Amino acid sequence: MPYRKVELYSNGIYHIFTRSIAGFKIFNASDDYERMRKLIFFYAIKKTPCKFSCFLGSGEKDFEKRICGDKLVRILAYCLMPTHVHLLVEQLEDKGISRFINLVLKSYSAYFNLKHKRRGPLWEGRFKNVLVDTDDKFLHLTRYIHLNPVSASIVERPQDWKFSSFDDYMKESNLSGSMTCEFSKYIDMRPEDYKKFVEDRIDYQRMLEHIKHLTIE
């Protein structure tokens, strides 16, 4: 992972975005998505107990029980898309995000290249990051993240996409497991109200997706 000139500060919340090289499809099956989901929560830990491969022989529940300890980052929201990844994270110690992202992307690249008998980089340069400095921005960004698969016309509703944190947001409590996003500190909203908040934006976000090629970024 290339060195980042802009330092990310601890206790800051960031929207992290990374995409594959040339729009290459990097998630081709449920197993690929699940692999990345586990990597995200595993490498959020500051001192992992062993290599990631040591965990793969255990079941999902045992996997979760063994993910514990101080963290580099707190996972607040995520969405895995066929060619890119959205993460909303809080950095808990200096250089935590850079270390976390480096480990996750390197590990997934090794897995993908071995599976598909390929060589070379999988990700497009440095990851992008945007500071999220208000609760209002946090709320609206989670909606944008969870609507990504709907905007891309992969599914009709955010709850139909099983590779995002939307299901976590639909639970009465978000403290049910070590692979659950921790967001209640920033969003004080009942699940049914959050669901309505997200779904009310579906048509508008789809429209933006259709016309974004007309804009200059």
Residue ranges of the domains in the chain? 13-214
Tens of pLDDT along the chain (217 residues) come to 344 445 788 999 999 999 999 889 999 999 999 999 999 999 999 988 777 877 776 555 566 666 777 899 999 999 999 999 999 999 999 999 999 999 999 999 999 999 999 999 999 988 999 999 999 999 999 999 999 999 999 999 999 999 999 999 998 765 556 778 889 888 989 999 999 999 998 888 877 776 554 443 3
Tell me the whole-structure pTM to 2 decimals. Answer: 0.88
* Count of Cβ atoms closer than 10 Å to residue 24 Cβ: 14
Q: How far is residue 84's CA from residue 23's CA, in Å, rounded to a whole number?
A: 8
Nearest-angstrom CA–CA distance, 113 and 117: 5
Tokens (6 digits) for 102: 């480096």
Rounded to a whole number of angstroms, the CA Rg of the chain reads 17
- Counting Cβ atoms within 10 Å, is residue 123 exposed (0-12), middle (13-18) or buried (19+)? buried
Superfamily holding 13-214: Transposase IS200-like (3.30.70.1290)
